[in-house]
């Protein structure tokens, strides 16, 4: 069985560290798991509740379809003003609507993030967890991956420099996401913490 993971970066920046994290994650996927980095967030219009159900913009329909088709989602987010970027929030708003037909409800999600600060997106990830909780998407609890001082840990083109600790954490994160996907598919086997 193959598991398909859809990866979203909260940054549109050409040399984004968060997009770089996702590229590193993609090559770490264990056998039977594919990580596909979604390239369509730039095309999303601003959320418009008049168009959430009817006359849905094509980029929104594409995002919702790709999330529905995926077994799980990975989100790498920057921290903007102690929260998450509008680009990501906009995508989550579109994907979580209309009420009663959210593509994210029940969809297993893993999160991580990189920033140049010493906190490495810790505050932004708290916000993201809160949003995903409201959306009713189960989120991997551990490991938490906050790649701090990211300006020292990526090449100028946004490629993660060799880093055993971070790579090991990312492998564990993928493993936990697979576990969460399997537990969500077979709720009777889920073990409470
Ligand atoms: C930032 N940045 C930032 N960093 C941080 O650690 N905490 C913060 O609250 C903020 N706030 C913030 C607001 C805005 C509007 C911008 C544009 C930037 C810096 C940010 O972490 C940095 O630009 C990262 O490199 C962005 O991630 P990517 O683009 O490299 O993935």
Domain ranges of the chain: 3-185
Q: What is the pLDDT of residue 170?
A: 98
Q: What is the pLDDT of residue 186?
A: 78
> What is the whole-number distance in angstroms between the Cα of residue 82 and the centre of ligand 1?
9
Q: What is the pLDDT of residue 188?
A: 61
Query: Could you tell me if 70 and 39 are in contact, meaning their C-beta atoms sit under 8 angstroms apart?
Result: no
Which ligand 1 atom minimizes the distance to the CA of 121? 6
Which ligand 1 atom minimizes the distance to the CA of 81? 9
Identify the residues whose C-beta falls under 6 Å from ligand 1. Answer: 11, 13, 16-18, 78-82, 115-117, 119, 150
- Report the CATH architecture of 3-185: 3-Layer(aba) Sandwich (3.40)
The one-digit pLDDT tens for each residue of the chain (193 residues) are 799 999 999 999 999 999 999 999 999 999 999 999 999 999 999 999 999 999 999 999 999 999 999 999 999 999 999 999 999 999 999 999 999 999 999 999 999 999 999 999 999 999 999 999 999 999 999 999 999 999 999 999 999 999 999 999 999 999 999 999 999 987 665 555 4
Which ligand 1 atom minimizes the distance to the CA of 78? 27
DSSP notation for 115-179: -SSTTTTHHHHHHHHHHHHHHT--B--S---EE-SGGGTB-TTSPBPP-HHHHHHHHHHHHHHHH
> What is the whole-number distance in angstroms between the Cα of residue 178 and the centre of ligand 1?
29
Which among 144, 140, 5, 147 has a CA at the least distance from the CA of 66?
5
> What is the whole-number distance in angstroms between the Cα of residue 78 and the centre of ligand 1?
6
Determine which residue's CA is closest to atom 7 belonging to ligand 1.
Answer: 79
């Amino acid at each position: 069985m193959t598991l398909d993971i859809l990866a979203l970066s909260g940054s549109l920046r050409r040399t984004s560290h968060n997009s770089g994290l996702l590229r590193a994650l993609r090559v770490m996927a264990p056998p039977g798991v594919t990580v596909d980095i979604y390239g369509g967030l730039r095309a999303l219009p601003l959320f418009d509740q008049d168009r959430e159900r009817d006359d849905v913009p094509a980029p929104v329909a594409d995002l919702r379809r790709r999330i529905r088709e995926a077994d799980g989602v990975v989100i790498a987010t920057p921290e903007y003003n102690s929260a998450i970027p509008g680009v990501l929030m906009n995508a989550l708003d579109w994907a979580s609507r209309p009420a009663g037909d959210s593509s994210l409800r029940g969809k297993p999600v893993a999160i991580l993030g990189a920033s140049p600060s010493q906190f490495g997106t810790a505050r932004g990830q708290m916000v993201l967890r809160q949003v995903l909780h409201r959306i009713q998407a189960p989120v991997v609890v551990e490991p938490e991956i906050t790649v701090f001082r990211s300006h020292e840990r990526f090449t100028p083109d946004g490629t993660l420099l060799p880093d055993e600790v971070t790579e090991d954490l990312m492998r564990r994160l993928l493993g936990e996401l697979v576990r969460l996907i399997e537990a969500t598919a077979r709720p009777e086997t889920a073990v409470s913490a």
